[in-house]
Structure 1
Amino acid sequence: MKSVDLFLPDEEAARLFGGRFGLCLRPGMTVLLEGPVGAGKSHLARAAIRAMAGAEIDVPSPTFTLVQSYETEAGEVWHADLYRLSHIGEVEELGLAEAIGRDILLIEWPDRLGHYAPDEAIRVTLSYEGEGRRLLVSGPEGFLACLAGAP
């Protein structure tokens, strides 16, 4: 897998990037969003979902519901926050194990996925850098080319 290193200087840049990111996602893709609390995982997922489903859609954080799903033109999109998972069996109980490889999944705190984390997943690691965010994105070459705007 290839990777790209990006710097997003502010919230608007993160929103625009998230929109482009969402438009590059296809059914069967799983995105693993890693980073400390407040680094922008939910913000990125929200922008991606809005790009796929329509800017006016309400996209609440799944912090308490654990999973939210959305019907989009690109297919079904699952947004999961696994921070509060207490055991690996909950991955199956939530339906995530079945959705991996079929739908589009955006998963925060993917370390809780254990053996369910697909090897071919797109990984996004967010970190603080001054007022902005540093992103390391790794994934298939075709996905990264889409992010870069290549045809």
Structure 2
Amino acid sequence: MRLRTDSAAATKRVAASLAPLLRAGDVVLLSGDLGAGKTVFVQGLAAALGVDEPVTSPTFTLAAVYRHGRLPLHHLDAYRLERLSEVLDLDLPGLLDDDAVVCIEWGEVLVPELPRDFLAIRLRLADVGEPADVRTIETEFVGPSWTDRARLVTNALAAAAGGNAAGAGTTADPAG
């Protein structure tokens, strides 16, 4: 699925629509260039889960844990990790808590260590000639848990995106 948002608020709205569908143990992998909106996405998701603390990118701390919401949220940032051996030092298995939702920014390096089920979300910056706040959000459902929920997630994200080119702040292309 491919969505387009035209503001940080619209990106947060799309992320928030995912929250009711999340289960304990879910992993959401976020990728994209610097400034593409990965942390903004997590902020929207966290708010919808009931996290009332400020959510910032844990680039230098590598992990932040938020326990006060519908589900605990572990927010990881693998930006500074260059090799799989550094991932092992991070104690990833300890952070992949079966009772929490885990969001991982820059998680591509972690894929070999991830559970077999995860939702991959790629955020892309605006194309040349588009307003700077435009983002493209693409989803990939990996593993049976996520493929079973693909239709529900797709419908929720599309609804948050307005479902079509006339949507307020977003457009959706479910075929993407």
Q: TM-score, normalised by structure 1?
A: 0.83
Cα deviation, 1:90-138, whole Å, max 9, x if unaligned, reads 4344332234361311001112214212332100011123231111112
**How many percent identity over aligned positions?**
26
* Residue matched to 2:136: 134
1:46 and 2:33 equivalent?
no
- The CA deviation at 1:74 is 3.2
* Distance in 1 of aligned mates of 2:22 and 2:42: 11
User: Is the 2:12–2:40 Cα contact (8 Å) retained in structure 1?
Assistant: yes
Q: Partner letter of residue 155 of structure 2?
A: A
Shift of 1:148: 1.9
Q: 2:58 aligns with which of 57, 62, 76?
A: 62
Contact 1:28 1:101 in 2 (8 A): yes
Secondary structure class of the residue paired with 2:57: coil
Give the structure with the larger strand fraction.
Answer: 1
- 1: distance between equivalents of 2:153 and 2:110? 27
Structure 1 vs Structure 2 CA RMSD: 2.2
Aligned length in residues: 146
Match in the other structure for 1:24: 21
* Higher mean C-alpha displacement, 78-87 vs 40-49: 78-87
Q: What residue number does 1:145 align with?
A: 152
Instruction: Could you tell me which runs of 5 or more consecutive residues in structure 1 were left unpaired when the two chains were aligned.
Output: none
Residue equivalent to 2:167: none
Q: How far is the alpha carbon of 1:144 from its aligned partner?
A: 4.5
TM-score, normalised to structure 2, is 0.73
- Matched with 2:30 is 33
Cα distance change on mapping 1:18 and 1:114 into 2, 3 Å: closer
Aligned residue for 1:85?
81
- 1:72-111 equivalent positions in 2, closer than 5 A: 72-100=68-96, 102=98, 103-111=100-108
CA-CA distance at 1:65 after TM superposition = 0.8
Structure 2, gaps ≥5 residues long: 158-176
